[in-house]
A and B are shown apart, each in its own frame.
Chain A
Amino acid sequence: MSNATLTLSPWETEVKPTTPLDGHDPSMLISMRNIWKTYQMGTESVHALHGVSFDIPRGEYIAIIGPSGSGKSTLMNLIGCLDTPSQGEYWLNGKNVSEMDDDELARIRNQEVGFVFQTFNLLARATALHNVELPLIYGGIGAAQRHEMAKKALTAVELTDRMMHRPNELSGGQRQRVAIARALVNRPSILLADEPTGALDSHTSNEIMDLFERLHSEGNTIIVVTHEHDIAARAHRVVSIRDGLIEKDERIK
């Protein structure tokens, strides 16, 4: 990947919706329509997102990029079903997520979303294997099958020989690979990574990004949220967020 030569065009001020505002597209894995997210700060209403609409087809590798305070994190939380929009519709894999309650959202997160965090967020006292099994426990899968699935996921991220290690016995890159295995073990619709290389050195970052690329080539839908342009440049499509709006949505590969 020759991302070093890639330059992003300067931010534009004019906002053009890239997708129609009415009706979701059932062929899309993710279909967001006119999403608003409003926070109440005392007496003042702060709009973190105002009217965001876009679609993500199955199997896409997309980066969401934007400076801090752009609404990027809010959008990620909505995509990851950690939160519901104040207004608008969010369809994920044919389900209208925007109207779900807490427990339904938990189920969707368990089944449809695989999270990868900047700081890995593994359980310190649990082995790599147990960490990977965790989503399966919440998915109600029996112990034997759970073991098999977790082992397979760890093998897929090339950690076969580290299954019984605890996070503090693993390097940063290995920890992030455990986290990726955990994210993928339930075969989710989307892999949602939040600054996945933010805590890694550049060499390890490259390894992780290579892994993402491989996972994408195996058919996974990957969404990377980042503020680093060279990380975003590895994606096939880049959505730029600024001031709670999609500033730019471009296919770069």
Chain B
Amino acid sequence: MRIIRSDIYENLKMALSTLRANKLRSFLTVFGVVIGIITVMLIASIISGIDVSVKNEVESFGTRSIYISKFDPGIRIGRMSREERMRKELTYDDAVALQALPAVELSVPFLDITNNWFGGKLMVSGGGKTSAQVALQGTLPEFEKAGTQIISEGRFFTQTENDTNQEVCVVGSKVADDFFKLGSPVGQTIKIGTQEFRVVGSLVEREQFLIGGGSDDQNNVIYVPFNVAQKLKPNADDIYILAVAKPGLMEEAKDQVRDMLRIRRQVPFAANDNFGLQTSESILDNFRSITAMMAVAMVVISSVGLMVGGIGVMNIMLVSVTERTREIGVRKAIGAKRSDIMWQFLIEAATLTGLGGIVGLSIGWGLTLLLRLLLPSYVPLWAPVGGLIASIGIGLIFGIWPAWKAARLDPIESLRYE
């Protein structure tokens, strides 16, 4: 086969001039390809953004932290089973028991009093503002040692303040910003329910994945002493526990925590745990399942786009072959071989989809810049490279049939074609 570089260059020039002559038609034809490539760019950048966020999240979560809650962590699909609904709460004593385990350095209980018995929220007001969106947690001063929250100003409350039911609190960065825009929150008063609390410290802003807002925002939180929380909401029993493993003993700590809780919660041998353990590893797994789902969505959406684009290209190329029957006849008469005609139309189709790919890449690039306002993301190199290869490949694949039809035309009939 004689495919020299100048052939491809000539064909490319011819293809570009043909496309220039039919700008609108060409653009509409490759619209599917454009959509497909935009999808690749966007989702690749979202996945990268999730990766970055998860890394930050895991860092602030602490690689030695184990969160223990009544329910299994992760995304719940469908209703809870009867067994799940019947699970008993974790207790303060569970936390104390875990503290005694050899591989556990620290164990802190949290009492969630954000929701009252009826699911309503405790109102928080301060600095002339009232909100029901703040997460309220009762905990112990040891929490500070876990290192997942860092005091930016003031101090954490003390064991004495807990034991003597002092109405003091430590506020998350968002609470500090929302209620005390001007000046420091430390020393200010904030009202939780009907009680007034003195702010003794505020926290450094925590990195988190996709700001949910409201009480899901991990910076929109107030920590009060555990005992005070119990007094604030006497029927509260929504407890979770943060256990921190000793350095290098993460696996041992997990096993010991699991065994201890199974005993304390009387889980029969061979039955599943009736509680959930969450570690940075399990968070990573969760996010990996999210990114995997997005990757599947990306492949599906972009391949639908590319297929639609490909069929559009095939259609328009078939039209083009018919329109240019005479031209093909002339080319054959002056010495174009079948392969020459075949390449001409293949390169034209690939140029069409390749340009569509470039348009998609540009639009997608712009959108990822917008996305960056929401999510710390970047565009991994494989996305534009793969996208461009895929779009050109689509042109080559879907161009085969029209090109073959063109190559096979009889020169005499084609020259006679009106």
Contact = CB atoms under 8 A, between A and B. Distances in A.
A88 interface: no
B154 interface: no
Nearest to A139: B335
B334 A182 contact: yes
A126 B15 CA distance: 12
A14 interface: no
Contacts of B334: 109-110, 115, 134-135, 138, 182
Interface stretch (A51-59, A75-83, A213-221): A75-83
A102 B338 contact: yes
Given A103-B338, A111-B335, A121 B326 contact: yes
B152 interface: no
Given A83-B412, A137-B7, A121 B330 contact: yes
Contacts of A46: none
Given A82-B411, A82-B412, A109 B333 contact: yes
A106 interface: yes
Nearest to B324: A123
Interface residues of A, number: 27
Interface in B9-30: 10, 14, 17-18, 21
Contact of B330 (A123, A137, A186): A123
Contacts of A109: 332-335
Interface size class of B (residues with CB under 8 A): 20 to 34
A82 B336 CA distance: 12
Interface string A101-122: 0110011011100010100010
B2 interface: yes
A22 to B, nearest CB: 29
Nearest to B9: A143
Contacts of A42: none
Contact of A138 (B18, B329, B335): B335
A81 to B, nearest CB: 9
B337 A107 contact: yes
B405 to A, nearest CB: 15
A142 B6 contact: yes
B18 A125 contact: yes
Interface string A30-66: 0000000000000000000000000000000000000
B13 to A, nearest CB: 9
Contacts of B326: 121
A10 interface: no
Contacts of A121: 326, 329-330, 333, 415
A82 B331 contact: no
Interface in A67-97: 77, 80, 82-83
Contacts of A126: 14, 17
Contacts of A111: 335
B15 to A, nearest CB: 11
User: Most chain-B Cβ atoms within 10 A of its Cβ — which of A117, A123, A137?
Assistant: A137
B348 interface: no
A139 B335 CA distance: 7
Nearest to B408: A102
B57 interface: no
Interface in A133-151: 134-135, 137-140, 142-143
A182 to B, nearest CB: 7
A220 to B, nearest CB: 17
A103 B326 CA distance: 19
A217 B389 CA distance: 56
A110 B330 contact: no
Contact of B336 (A117, A125, A138, A143): A138
B340 interface: yes
Contacts of B335: 106-107, 109-111, 135, 138-139, 186
Contacts of B6: 137, 142-143
Contacts of A182: 334
21 contacts: A80-B333, A82-B332, A103-B339, A106-B336, A106-B337, A106-B338, A110-B334, A110-B335, A111-B335, A115-B334, A117-B415, A121-B330, A123-B327, A126-B17, A135-B334, A137-B7, A137-B10, A138-B331, A138-B335, A138-B337, A140-B7
Interface of B: 2, 4, 6-7, 10, 14, 17-18, 21, 326-327, 329-340, 411-412, 415
Given A123-B327, A140-B7, 19 more contacts: A80-B333, A82-B412, A102-B337, A103-B339, A106-B335, A106-B337, A106-B340, A109-B332, A110-B335, A117-B330, A121-B329, A125-B21, A134-B331, A135-B335, A137-B7, A137-B10, A138-B334, A140-B2, A142-B6
